[in-house]
Structure 1
Amino acid sequence: MAEFEVATGAAGAPSGDDRERRAAVRTAFEGLLQIRRLMNTDAADPEGVPAEWERRRPIRAVALALEAADVPPSAVDADGHRVATGYCLGPAERAGVVRVEWLGPPGSGAGYAAQEALRNCAAVLRRLGWEALEYRGPRRRHHLEVEPPPPGPPRR
């Protein structure tokens, strides 16, 4: 059995049957929530706080959270041309921070939809305890910077 690979939107589209993919995402996300329950025993809402595993692999954790919420990932073909509209994740300038962009093929209108789509991504991630801030960069392109909240005393 192959290892489950998250869809970051920076590579090709996930292969295989859509139903099988949804089932694999659901299983992986349930595993992530179980990790949270086991690792965040001091938190008032253990499922609402990113676990240490997620802090060490933020791109993987954010991708899984978005795909589990049925937010579509972008994708590129073998030549590197964008072929699907959706989120695209990569590292931000600061370590441990994920940059979330909304990208699509030329003429897809992804740029026009980006602000609303990214706000949806931010809402999904905030419900799971991530901090998501919206920025506007060069050419007024919107993106998010997502990171876990700073560690602190347990919340009760």
Structure 2
Amino acid sequence: MTRPPTAAQRRIIEAADPETGRISGSAAQLARLVVLKLAFRHPRPPHEHFLTPQGHRLRETAPEQAPPEHRPAASDGVFTARLGGEPGTAPSAARAREVRTAWQGLLEIRRMTNPGGAVDRPCAWERGRLAHAAALALEAAGRTPAGETEPGYRVTETPQPEAVAVHHVDPAALAACASALQEAGWQVSEHAAARGARYLLASPRRT
């Protein structure tokens, strides 16, 4: 990047989807961010634009540096990976499309940031957001997050560095979650919890 982004460009960066880095703006604005190496255009239709690692770093520091009037407001339309237990988690075609787009964007971040462009294992961006990265991998594989009362997976943080726990009341569904995470490049082990319950411990694979 040769010079700091303009206020308009910064607003686009700050408003990026926190999970995938997807951005919106005019064609000219998006093209300029690509030139600045703050964004890239996805090669597959619908050719959406996503932040590069450099753009993500700028976004992460922007809210503290930008004046209050330029900070983005929270939006109910922003994609968020479901950890389980959130209200309104009924499957829908719209949600399935959002998950597919988010997963494709994440694979592109892997390609751009992992050594050798490897997409078969998590990248540094995911290791900084373990629970949401694991949840996105599960939902993208067709696993169902728990609702407020409906059964499904739940992803929680753990005291162990670089590890999250995945819970499910159904042993067969828990095994399916393990397979989905392994296919997405995670190391997974199963453990016993209180009262005979089982849970998964998942960590991003590095090699």
Match of residue 30 from structure 1: 104
AA aligned opposite 1:100: V
RMSD: 1.8
Greater C-alpha Rg: 2
Secondary structure at 2:88 match in 1: coil
- C-alpha separation in 2, matches of 1:40 and 1:13: 35
Contact 2:89/2:145, CA 8 A, preserved across alignment: no
Contact 2:153/2:167, CA 8 A, preserved across alignment: yes
Match of residue 95 from structure 2: 21
One of 140, 144, 151 as aligned partner of 2:196: 140
Match of residue 107 from structure 1: none
Q: Which has the higher contact order (CA 8 A, sep 6+)?
A: 1
User: What TM-score does the superposition give when structure 2 sets the normalisation length?
Assistant: 0.60
- C-alpha separation in 2, matches of 1:28 and 1:85: 24
Name segments (4+ residues, structure 1) moved above 6 Å.
none
- C-alpha separation in 2, matches of 1:41 and 1:138: 40
- C-alpha separation in 2, matches of 1:89 and 1:52: 19
AA aligned opposite 2:120: G
Contact 1:10/1:89, CA 8 A, preserved across alignment: no
Unaligned 5+ runs, structure 1 = 77-82, 103-110
Secondary structure at 2:179 match in 1: helix
Match of residue 89 from structure 1: 155
- C-alpha separation in 1, matches of 2:108 and 2:166: 25
Unaligned 5+ runs, structure 2 = 1-74
Match of residue 52 from structure 1: 124
Q: After the TM superposition, which residues 49-88 of structure 1 pair with which residues of structure 2 at under 5 Å, given as runs?
A: 49-76=121-148, 83-88=149-154
Aligned residue pair count: 132
Match of residue 106 from structure 1: none
Structure with the bigger percentage of strand? 1
AA aligned opposite 1:92: T
Q: Structure 1 residue 47: deviation in Å? A: 1.2
- C-alpha separation in 2, matches of 1:124 and 1:36: 17
- C-alpha separation in 1, matches of 2:81 and 2:184: 17
Contact 2:146/2:153, CA 8 A, preserved across alignment: yes
User: What TM-score does the superposition give when structure 1 sets the normalisation length?
Assistant: 0.78
Write the deviation string for residues 51-89 of structure 1: whole angstroms up to 9, x where unpaired. Answer: 10110001111111111111010011xxxxxx1111001
My pick for the range that moved more, 87-96 or 50-59, is 87-96
One of 39, 42, 45 as aligned partner of 2:113: 39
